[in-house]
Amino acid sequence: MSSNHIIEEKKQGQALVTEINNNNKKKLFIESYGCQMNLNDSEIVASILSKEGYNTTQILEEADMVLVNTCSIREKAEQTVRKRLQKYNSVKKINPEMKIGVLGCMAERLKSKFLEEEKMVNMVVGPDAYRDLPNLVKTVEDGKDAVNVILSKEETYADISPVRLNSNGVTAFVSITRGCDNMCTFCVVPFTRGRERSRDPKSIIDEVKDLWENGFKEVTLLGQNVDSYLWYGGGLKKDFDKASEIARATAIDFAKLLELVALAEPKMRIRFATSNPQDMSLDVIRSMAKYDNICKYIHLPVQTGSTRMLERMNRQHTRKEYLELIDNIRNIIPDCAISQDMIAGFSGETEEDHQETLSLMEHVKYDFGFMFAYSERPGTPAAKRMEDDVPLEIKKRRLADIIALQQKHGLYRMEQFVGKTVEVLIEGNSKKSDLHWKGRNSQNAMVVFPKGNEKIGDLVNVKVNDCTSATLIGSRL
Ligand code: SAH
Ligand code: F3S
């Protein structure tokens, strides 16, 4: 997530490829929609199925098994998946042996209803049930339908080594928590991904070290709410109070985990997402400041600038508290980049509330933003108790205001780098030209510059000569 634009779900589907095991005969086509966590989950699924005789393919028509890892966050995300299912169905008509499975948040939300609603689907698997895939796949191969949408108190897939799919060989995701306990009233995630639980820090560090040994240079620690990370020997975050005294005394929180990871692999660049303002502690900011290899970038969704709306959203902090957090970040890490998520037109939002969002943005001047019109999700507290009462036209207009302002701020932030030298990790060819490299600086700004004798994975100094609102344009010193 590196430029200021609305995430268009339809663009996010990505066929993932790798050759895993040469003895594998069956072919798996797996696609992911939605968040980075889904991409990482697909890597876990590919790893589990490689042991069941499946290698991944990028060619839909030759697949024996088609899996789509789905997103429920907005209605549009679900519509995109439904369209993909139609496409798979047209291929299945030519290849009737092909099996189709739905993974992730839509699977969890709709459960076996999926099999009734979409006749082409053979298998429905929720985000905590991937370990059961060997059984489920066998059932499907035997010609029966299979469903497992049981949510778990423990599952973190800690011991499963993800197969790095579609990888650039430089950057990788490492999951550290699953689920979310926050219950923001608009959000479906607590219902589709279950209660919050943290992964054993040892397995996280082992994975990071293993990635380094395999040439990776940057990891992003992933969770719905990373600041809420808490390891006390396993189990749900909400059961922490019931743990033994010794377990509580030796618990590891996110600030500590960051420090452990930074020290374990001092040259590995470390990023994390997503931070929740109500849970982000000063200790986390201090850990970031202390270690050079922790990137100076925080994705800190706020959703709205109005305290009244924050309350309706059950965000557990006020506008004032959020701005204090921003001040603390800027005091402790003056060069830290900050990005937002915003929702335009949530239930009850007035023009005055909207103006508060714009004035908060004016104050923070975010580096990047991810902005959405409110989409009511069935089963959420907002859908149950609050009317979706802002007309679509007004939602769209407010969203356009927010996007326009973000573009202005994005450009302003990028301009601050012009004339300076930034350190860039080279990720690959620039999108527009094979003669240019692309990579990101610590603040997550995309940088492009003409190729010299560098190679992918090198960390190099680049002088910034120019910029757009999404890209820094530079040259080697
Ligand atoms: N903590 C999570 C948030 C997941 S949802 C994370 O890891 O990013 C990502 C963003 O989608 C939210 O921050 C919010 O801005 C947006 N979003 C969530 N539910 C939404 C809804 N019902 N309508 C519109 N946008 C929504
Ligand atoms: Fe959703 Fe709020 Fe959790 S946005 S993922 S309920 S922090």
Tokens of 267: 């040259």
Report the CATH fold assignment for 421-476. OB fold (Dihydrolipoamide Acetyltransferase, E2P) (2.40.50)
Q: What is the largest CA-CA distance in the chain?
A: 64
Nearest to 343 by CA among 156, 184, 108, 456: 184
DSSP characters for 48-68?
Answer: HHHTTTEEE-S-GGG-SEEEE
Closest atom, ligand 2, to C-alpha of 193: 5
Peptide bond into 274 cis (omega under 30): yes
CATH top-level class of 171-411: alpha beta
For residue 182, the CA-to-ligand 2 centroid distance in Å is: 6
Q: Are 409 and 3 in contact (CB under 8 A)?
A: no
- In which residue ranges of the chain is pLDDT below 50? 1-12, 17-19
Nearest CA to ligand 1 atom 18: 187
Q: Specify the ligand 2 atom closest to the Cα of 315.
A: 2
pLDDT score, position 21: 59
Task: State whether the beta carbon of 186 lies less than 6 angstroms from ligand 1.
Answer: yes
Cβ-proximal residues to 213 (8 Å cutoff; 6+ apart), any chain: none
Shortest-distance atom of ligand 2 to CA 224: 5
Please report, for the chain, how many H helices and E strands are present, in that order: 16, 22
Distance CA 181, CA 240 (A): 13
Best of 8, 300, 341, 370 to mutate for ligand 1, by most ligand atoms within 8 A of CB?
A: 341
Q: Give me the pLDDT at residue 469, please.
A: 93
User: What residue owns the CA closest to ligand 1's atom 15?
Assistant: 341
Q: Is the CB of 179 under 6 A from ligand 2?
A: no
Would you state the CATH architecture of domain 6-148? 3-Layer(aba) Sandwich (3.40)
Atom of ligand 1 nearest to the CA of 303: 15
> Tell me, what DSSP letter sits at residue 34?
S
State the Cα–Cα distance between residues 417 and 341, nearest whole angstrom.
Answer: 23
DSSP type of residue 320: H
pTM: 0.94
- Name the residue of 12, 35, 73 to mutate for ligand 1: max ligand atoms within 8 A of Cβ: 73
Residue 183 CA, closest ligand 2 atom number: 6
Q: Where in the chain is the domain with CATH 3.40.50.12160?
A: 6-148
CATH 2.40.50.140 residue window(s) in the chain:
421-476
Say what the pLDDT of residue 24 is: 77
For ligand 2, atom 7, the nearest C-alpha belongs to 182
Which one of the ligands is nearest to 341 CA? 1
- Confirm or reject: Cβ of 276 under 6 Å from ligand 2: yes
Q: Is residue 225 within 6 Å of ligand 2 at its C-beta?
A: yes
> Where do you find CATH 3.80.30.20 in the chain?
171-411
The pLDDT value recorded for residue 19 is 44
Q: Give the number of the ligand closest to the Cα of residue 370.
A: 1
Structure tokens at 35: 């968040």
Grouping H, G, I as helix, E, B as strand and the rest as coil, residue 248 is helix
Q: Any idea what DSSP says for residue 437? A: E
Distance in Å, CA 223 to ligand 2 centroid: 10
Query: For residues 198 and 156, is the Cβ–Cβ distance under 8 A?
Result: yes
Please report which residue ranges of 5-112 form alpha helices under DSSP H: 9-12, 36-50, 75-94, 105-110
Q: Measured at the alpha carbon of residue 323, what is the angle toward residues 317 and 326, in degrees to the nearest 5?
A: 110
